[in-house]
Structure 1
Amino acid sequence: MTHPITARQLFQTAYESRYTWDENFPGYSADVQLVQGDEVYTGKIRINRDLSVEVTGVADEQVEEGIYTQLRDIVTHRKCTNFEQSHGEHEFSLGQEDPNGAIEILVKGDSMGSNYKVRGNEISQVSRVMGRMAFIIDTHASLDTGSGYIATRYDATFRNSKTNQVTSVLKFEDTYEKIGDYYVMTKQIVQEYKDGTRTTTEFSYSNIKLLEPAAVS
Structure 2
Amino acid sequence: MTEPKNALDLFRTAYEHRYTWDANFPGYQANIELKQGDEVYTGQIQIHPDLSVEVTGIEDEEVKQSVYTQLRDIITHRKRTPFEQAHGKNKFSLGETDETGATEILVEGDAMGSNYSVRGHEISRVSRVMGRMAFVIHTQESLDTGEGYIAHRYSAIFRNPQTQEMIRELQFQDDFEKFGNYYIMTRQVVHSHETDKQITTEFNYSQVKLLTPVTV
Fold match (TM-score > 0.5): yes
Give per-residue Cα distances to partners, 1:110-161, cap 9 Å, x unaligned. 0010000000000000000122210000000000000000001000000000
CA distance in 1, matches of 2:126, 2:57: 35
CA distance in 1, matches of 2:200, 2:154: 15
CA distance in 1, matches of 2:4, 2:52: 41
SS of equivalent to 2:158: strand
- Count of matched residue positions in the alignment of Structure 1 and Structure 2: 215
SS of equivalent to 1:100: coil
Unaligned runs of 5+ residues in structure 2 are none
1:48-63 map, 5 Å: 48-63=48-63
TM-score, reference length from structure 2: 0.98
CA distance in 1, matches of 2:111, 2:166: 23
CA distance in 2, matches of 1:146, 1:53: 27
CA distance in 2, matches of 1:170, 1:143: 20
- Structure 1 residue 44 displacement after superposition: 0.3
CA distance in 2, matches of 1:13, 1:196: 41
User: Is 1:155 matched with 2:177?
Assistant: no
Q: Which residue of the partner structure matches residue 205 of structure 1?
A: 205
- Structure 1 residue 183 displacement after superposition: 0.1
CA distance in 1, matches of 2:132, 2:65: 24
Distance 1:130 1:212, change over 3 A: same
Output the aligned Cα RMSD. 1.1
Once the two structures are aligned, what percentage of the paired residues are identical?
62
TM-score, reference length from structure 1: 0.97
Give per-residue Cα distances to partners, 1:78-102, cap 9 Å, x unaligned. 0000000000000000000011000
Distance 1:4 1:41, change over 3 A: closer
**Runs of at least 4 residues of structure 1 off by over 4 A?**
none
